[in-house]
Amino acid sequence: MSAPTEQSIVAGGTEASPSGGARFAPRARTRAERRRRVRPTVLLSWIVIAVAVAWAIAPGVFAPADPVAGNAADALQAPGAAHWFGTDATGRDMYSRVVHGAIHSLSGALIAVSVGLVVGTVLGVVAGAVDGVVSEAIMRLVDVLLAIPQLLLMLSIIIILGFGTAQAAVAVGITSIAAFARLARSEVVRVRRSDYVEAAYASGGRRVAVLVRHVLPNSLTAVVALAALQFGTAILLISTLGFLGYGAPPPTPEWGLMIAEGRNYVATSWWLTTLPGLVVVAVVISANRISSALNDRDRR
């Protein structure tokens, strides 16, 4: 009887060796390594977000100076050892104002994302799980929201609710409902057509039970990634509304308002707009990079 020839059977990401043992296929190992490896840009993004959150939680630890009270003798000082981000026209420390302003921008973004995520996801899940008139009515409402220019809709809501960071955040959140609803509906419809969902229905599973146990856990990953993306977008939009004067009133240390207050001194005191603007850009780009990483992880 001849000796068995050496064979390797690759199935499900493993290779069966002649000795009877099993080892992971190179392709499976490569995928696992990619999942475990954290790219430097993603790590840096998490650090930026962590610093911004720390500023919002304990601003006095990082910047003990009063962000509202100023000293006229220190007006318009350039960045230096005494004032890292310089001072504004009334002598207020800009670094302290940027740090204390994190709570307004981040809390506003959190409110905006929560409004869009909760309302939009509920509407999208209902539209995707229930066919017929209900689904059509919800999607026509979403189409109406998408047809209205975003800035016009935000300003209209703020005029109704009043001025302030919370009102601006609600306005931003309402404008993001349509994006969450459309994505949630498309994901629910995609998962509903999967074989395992059809098998769950065929085995006698009830609609609500199958929706909660099988459909939702496998359809909300993309929605979470969109929430991370919307967090950065919400910070940018709230800062834009603050710059236009529809956000927090002076002398609140809000990032968009600080940029607006310093625009008249761009030629002589560049730090009044540049440094707060760089903070906004860094936080927004970091949130977008994290969202992109979540999307890539979901595709793998």
Contact in structure between 134 and 97 (CB atoms under 8 Å): no
pLDDT value, residue 31: 52
When the pLDDT of each residue in the chain is averaged and rounded to a whole number, the result is: 84
pLDDT of residue 236: 93
Q: Is the pLDDT of residue 135 over 60?
A: yes
Query: pLDDT band for position 74 (50/70/90)?
Result: confident
Q: Using pLDDT thresholds of 50, 70 and 90, give the confidence band for residue 11.
A: very low
Whether 275 has a pLDDT exceeding 90, the answer reads: yes
For CA atoms 113, 114, 117, 123, the dihedral sign is negative
Residue 45's pLDDT is 94
CB 237 within 8 A of CB 61: no
Please indicate whether residue 116 or residue 36 has the higher confidence score (pLDDT). 116
pLDDT digits (tens, 9 = 90+) for 154-182: 999 999 998 888 999 999 999 999 999 99
pLDDT band at residue 27 using 50, 70 and 90 as cut-offs: low
Q: CA geometry: angle at 251 spanning 247 and 256, to 5°?
A: 40
Model pLDDT, residue 7 = 45
Which residues are CB-contacts of 9 (< 8 A; sequence separation ≥ 6)? 15, 16
Q: Where in the chain is the domain with CATH 1.10.3720.10?
A: 40-299
Res. 37: pLDDT tops 90:
no
User: What is the distance between the alpha carbons of residues 157 and 151, in angstroms, rounded to a whole number?
Assistant: 10
Between 298 and 108, the higher pLDDT residue? 108
b (16+ CB within 10 A) / e for 191-204 = bbeeeebeebeeee
Give the pLDDT confidence score for residue 298 in this predicted structure: 59
Residue 273 has pLDDT above 50, yes or no: yes
Kindly report whether the peptide bond that precedes residue 251 is cis, defined as omega within 30 degrees of 0. Answer: yes
Tell me the two tokens of residue 244. Answer: 């236009």
Its CATH class, for the domain covering 40-299, is mainly alpha
Amino acid 141 reads L
3-state secondary structure 72-132: HHHCCCCCCCCCCCCECCCCCEHHHHHHHHHHHHHHHHHHHHHHHHHHHHHHHHHHHHCCC
Query: What is the pLDDT, as a whole number, of residue 30?
Result: 54
Strands 9-11 and 22-24: unpaired
What pLDDT was estimated at residue 199?
77
- Which pLDDT score, from 0 to 100, does residue 33 have? 54
